């Protein structure tokens, strides 16, 4: 075995075109290639990949790690038989074995494919193993590829050390021990696969990372977009709030102004009503007083006609005084706050009715007052004001039933409509009534539907009733027909009738 290697070594300096004596001719290699097992990728002319890469696509394809999970092993030896021998040994590993018969061809393969390990024969004609290794190492992408030198030269330490200095990872000396070769190649195949796996995982990680980054970027942009619109909204809201604040303060200002005005007006009204109470009614009272003195002290000195006029003067001044009193009550109700309490409606009504009966009944007519059964005993209201309401409504009823022989006057109540559930109270009479088209005039101040000669009155009573009811939160209205009696309705609002 020593001689062929020596020969081969001797041939190394000779031109590559000259086959060394005893070496296999070109046709043998071709034949051997043809007999290569199908799982082996061979560098034979039968192999489809061209010697020179035709396009970047091919480079890319070859640069990829074999997709079948097998690692590529490059066998570089000028001798067919040796390549075959080694192939046989490592074929058991089940990887792709690519053969090259020269350093040049090996380099070509290395350009196109990735290899787990290179088994590089040291003694080759032309470019020997060391030269080939040197060229391989010069390529950046190949500087770490494991190279196992195969050499028959066992006696030279220099070869071994030179091989290592050229980046050999290992050194196998011929004659080859199959188990050692196989084991060593297996180690590098394993290493390659692990490295490949790591590379793939790193690639996956990189991919995942970039996808993550992309998603983060997208999300960030989305957030920025949302943030921007939120900021816009916040700004708009702030602006709206500011506007509201300005409006509010303006409103407050106006309310304060208005309140001050109202307070001043109220003060004025108070002074006015005080003045009415004390001063305005005084002259009427005094006129009446003088008329009375005249009538009493000088009755015998006055003719009958003069006495009649005197009594008219007295009556008119009394009337005027009553009007002023009513007007004053109207002011007081409008202005003064009042307490609301449980008020006995039935007894209040009976009291008022008793007074009216004694005043209004005479031989010519009788007054029939009725309190309906369903009338609640008590209501929530101001007793003093509710008395005024009943006095006005009932005395009106007495007044306007004067032409009737029997006055029928009923105080009752009806259950409220479903909506507000408020009890509706009413005072009904069989008096002269009124025309419905005049109903809205009933509750106005100084509004009268009858001549003074027909029915006396100040024209304030119902206005007062309306104001008192409104103060209680209720409502007042009336129904009637000419000659067919009148009914006055009122509610007392939420503060009014307590259903319990």
Partner 1 sequence: MIQNKYAVLLADDSSDDRLFMRKALSRSTRLSMAAEVCDGQEAIEYLKGNPPFSNRDLHPWPDLLILDLKMPRKNGFDVLQWLKHQAEAGTLARPTLTVVIVSGAFLERDISQSLEMGAAGYFKKTSVRREQEDMVQELEKLMAEKAERKLSPES
Least distance CB 298 / partner 1 (angstroms)? 13
Least distance CB 381 / partner 1 (angstroms)? 17
- Orientation of helix 80-91 relative to helix 26-34, angle to 10°: 20
Least distance CB 285 / partner 1 (angstroms)? 5
Least distance CB 317 / partner 1 (angstroms)? 8
Task: Select 25 or 283, whichever has its Cβ closest to partner 1.
Answer: 283
Task: Select 88 or 286, whichever has its Cβ closest to partner 1.
Answer: 286
Residues 6+ apart with CB under 8 A from 162: 130
Least distance CB 292 / partner 1 (angstroms)? 6
Task: Select 285 or 357, whichever has its Cβ closest to partner 1.
Answer: 285
Task: Select 288 or 471, whichever has its Cβ closest to partner 1.
Answer: 288
Could you tell me which of 322, 392, 386, 323 has the C-alpha nearest to residue 355? 392
Residues 6+ apart with CB under 8 A from 289: none
* Residues 317-376, interacting with partner 1 (CB under 8 A): 332
Task: Select 389 or 476, whichever has its Cβ closest to partner 1.
Answer: 389
Task: Select 175 or 289, whichever has its Cβ closest to partner 1.
Answer: 289
Task: Select 28 or 282, whichever has its Cβ closest to partner 1.
Answer: 282
Least distance CB 270 / partner 1 (angstroms)? 10
Least distance CB 288 / partner 1 (angstroms)? 4
Q: Annotate each residue in 262-301 with x if it binds partner 1 (CB under 8 A) or - if it does not, as one string.
A: ------------x--xxx-xx--xx-xxx-xx--x-----
* Residues 452-491, interacting with partner 1 (CB under 8 A): none
Least distance CB 324 / partner 1 (angstroms)? 10
Task: Select 131 or 319, whichever has its Cβ closest to partner 1.
Answer: 319
Examine residue 216 and tell whether it contacts partner 1 (CB under 8 A). no
Least distance CB 318 / partner 1 (angstroms)? 8
Task: Select 271 or 372, whichever has its Cβ closest to partner 1.
Answer: 271
Could you tell me which of 79, 80, 144 has the C-alpha nearest to residue 118? 144
- How many residues bind partner 1 (CB under 8 A)? The answer is 15
Task: Select 187 or 332, whichever has its Cβ closest to partner 1.
Answer: 332
Alpha carbon of 500 to those of 163, 372, 469, 496: distances in Å? Answer: 116, 18, 21, 12
Least distance CB 327 / partner 1 (angstroms)? 13
Binding site for partner 1 (CB under 8 A): 274, 277-279, 281-282, 285-286, 288-290, 292-293, 296, 332
């Amino acid at each position: 075995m020593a001689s062929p290697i020596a020969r081969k070594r001797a041939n190394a300096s000779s031109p590559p075109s000259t086959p060394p004596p005893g070496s296999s001719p070109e046709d043998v290699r071709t034949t051997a290639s043809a007999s290569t097992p199908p799982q082996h990728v061979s560098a034979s002319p039968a192999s489809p990949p061209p010697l020179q890469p035709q396009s970047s696509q091919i480079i890319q394809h070859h640069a990829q790690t074999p997709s079948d999970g097998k690692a590529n092993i490059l066998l570089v030896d000028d001798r067919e038989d040796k390549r075959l021998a080694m192939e046989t040994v490592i074929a058991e590993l089940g990887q792709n074995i690519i053969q090259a018969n020269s350093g040049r061809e090996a380099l070509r393969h290395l350009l196109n494919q990735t290899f787990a390990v290179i088994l590089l024969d040291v003694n080759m004609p032309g470019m020997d193993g060391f030269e080939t290794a040197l060229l391989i190492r010069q390529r950046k992408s190949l500087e770490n590829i494991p190279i196992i030198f195969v050499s028959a030269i066992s006696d030279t330490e220099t070869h071994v050390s030179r091989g290592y200095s050229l980046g050999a990872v290992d050194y196998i000396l011929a004659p080859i021990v199959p188990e050692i070769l196989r084991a060593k190649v297996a180690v590098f195949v394993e290493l390659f696969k692990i490295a490949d796996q790591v590379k793939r995982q790193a690639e996956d990680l990189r991919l995942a990372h970039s996808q993550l980054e992309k998603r983060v970027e997208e999300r960030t942009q989305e957030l920025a977009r949302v943030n921007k619109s939120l900021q816009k909204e916040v700004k708009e809201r702030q602006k709206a709030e500011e506007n509201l604040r300005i409006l509010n303060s303006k409103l407050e200002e106006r309310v304060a102004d208005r309140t001050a005005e109202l307070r001043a007006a109220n003060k004025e009204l108070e002074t006015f009503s005080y003045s009415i109470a004390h001063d305005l009614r005084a002259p009427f009272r005094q006129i009446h007083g003088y008329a009375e003195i005249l009538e009493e002290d000088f009755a015998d000195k006055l003719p009958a006609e003069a006495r009649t006029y005197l009594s008219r003067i007295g009556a008119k001044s009394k009337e005027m005084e009553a009007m002023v009193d009513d007007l004053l009550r109207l002011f007081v109700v409008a202005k003064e706050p009042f307490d609301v309490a449980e008020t006995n409606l039935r007894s209040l009504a009976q009291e008022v009715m008793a007074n009216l009966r004694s005043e209004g009944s005479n031989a010519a007519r009788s007054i029939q007052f009725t309190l309906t059964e369903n009338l609640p005993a008590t209501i929530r209201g101001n007793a003093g004001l509710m008395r005024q309401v009943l006095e006005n409504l009932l005395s009106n009823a007495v007044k306007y039933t004067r032409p009737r022989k029997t006055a029928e006057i009923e105080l009752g109540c009806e259950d409220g409509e479903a909506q507000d559930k408020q009890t509706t109270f009413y005072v009904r009479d069989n008096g002269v009534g009124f025309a419905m088209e005049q109903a809205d005039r009933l509750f106005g101040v100084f509004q009268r539907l009858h001549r003074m000669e027909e029915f006396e009155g100040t024209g304030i009573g119902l206005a007062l009733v309306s104001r008192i009811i409104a103060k209680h939160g209720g409502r007042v209205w009336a129904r009637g027909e000419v000659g067919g009696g009148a009914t006055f309705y009122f509610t007392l609002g939420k503060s009014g009738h307590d259903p319990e």
